[in-house]
Amino acid sequence: MHEDYVVRVVVEGTQVLGYVASSTRLVERARRLHRTTPVATAALGRALTLVGILGLTMKENQRISLQIECRGPLEGILVQGNAKGEVRGYVSQPWVILPSKEQGKLNVEDAVGAGSKLLVVKDLGFGEPYVGSITMPRGGIAYDLAYYFASSEQLPSACSAGVYVGKRGKVLSAGGFIIHTPSGTPLDVIDTLEENISRLGPVSHELFQGKTPEDITAFIFSGLPYRIVGKDPLRYRCRCSRRRAKNVLLLLGEKERQELFETQGKAEVHCAFCNRTYLFFPEDFAQGRQ
């Protein structure tokens, strides 16, 4: 299994930027953490792959989130990424089962639901975060993100993400790409990219067959003077800790915390991103104890 990483690409003489990712390991880790069914794995994996790419476009100490308020049975998806290539996320209903589409393709579109709401939240590290949103025309996530870029940021883009799940539920391959073609991009460049992308198979299948992000990049940008300008690792990493969990209980206030201990004898803080539960007892909050 290849390491997860993103290849960053520019097309000489233009403002075209491309990002091609492999994300198999991190999506499989998410599947194991959340015990997702295949269709939930595919939906969460697509979102994690895309937010991983977007996170690498942020500056240090900034992060970006994709939040989907699903009309379908998944109910909700939340994923986050940062400039270090660290991603985390979860799906509200990880045990959803839906009939597959033609040729056994997982039905992510119905699991998410056309008409769902996609929110893109950029925490730039100062003041209120920037929030953009759209009503998702399809529910497949990648196409909807491209629609968001075009309608909300006036940035024409091609987006793709896929997850290949084996018969036993394991993630066999996952990856995707985002290509930005800003206003003013020469039409012949756009035509070449569109033609190449139309001939490219699903990214997850290309990766499963042994292709690398560099191989896929070469195919997408064939016929163009492209240059790879960077290669960044991706990984699933949750930032929760016992100290942060304790701070959550401290924010409750002493009265509320005491009532919790009197009724239950303990307090639990559960992290939705990694499924870890932190247990606390009254003595953990004794005077002077860290």
Give the C-alpha separation, 206 to 212, whole Å.
Answer: 8
pLDDT per residue over 75-116, tens digit each? 999 999 999 999 999 999 999 999 988 777 899 999 999 999
Q: Which residue has the higher pLDDT, 163 or 100?
A: 163
Confidence of residue 121 (pLDDT cuts 50, 70, 90): very high
Location of each CATH 3.55.30.10 domain in the chain: 5-236
Location of each CATH 3.90.1280.10 domain in the chain: 242-285
Q: Closest Cα partner for 146 from 214, 193, 110?
A: 193
> How far from 172 is each of 14, 116, 192, CA to CA, in Å?
36, 28, 30
Q: Which whole number is the average pLDDT over 27-55?
A: 97
* pLDDT for 288 beyond 80: no
Q: Residue 101: what pLDDT?
A: 83
Give the C-alpha separation, 229 to 138, whole Å.
Answer: 33
Structure tokens at 275: 């499924």
Q: Residue 200: what pLDDT?
A: 96
pLDDT per residue over 174-229, tens digit each? 999 999 999 999 999 999 999 999 999 999 999 999 999 999 999 999 999 999 99
Q: Residue 289: what pLDDT?
A: 54
Structure tokens at 42: 């595919």
Q: In what order do the strands lie in the sheet with 17-22?
A: 157-165, 171-180, 17-22, 5-11, 226-233
The reported pTM is: 0.93
Confidence of residue 258 (pLDDT cuts 50, 70, 90): confident
Structure tokens at 202: 């699903």
Q: Closest Cα partner for 31 from 166, 121, 178?
A: 166
pLDDT per residue over 126-155, tens digit each? 888 999 999 999 999 999 999 999 999 999
Judge whether 171 and 29 are in contact, CB under 8 Å: no
pLDDT per residue over 48-78, tens digit each? 999 999 999 999 889 999 999 999 999 999 9
pLDDT per residue over 223-251, tens digit each? 999 999 999 999 999 989 999 999 988 88
Q: Residue 185: what pLDDT?
A: 96
Which fold would CATH assign to domain 242-285?
CBS domain Like (3.90.1280)
Q: What CATH number does the domain located at 5-236 have?
A: 3.55.30.10
Judge whether 98 and 41 are in contact, CB under 8 Å: no
Give the C-alpha separation, 169 to 16, whole Å.
Answer: 37
Q: Residue 1: what pLDDT?
A: 58
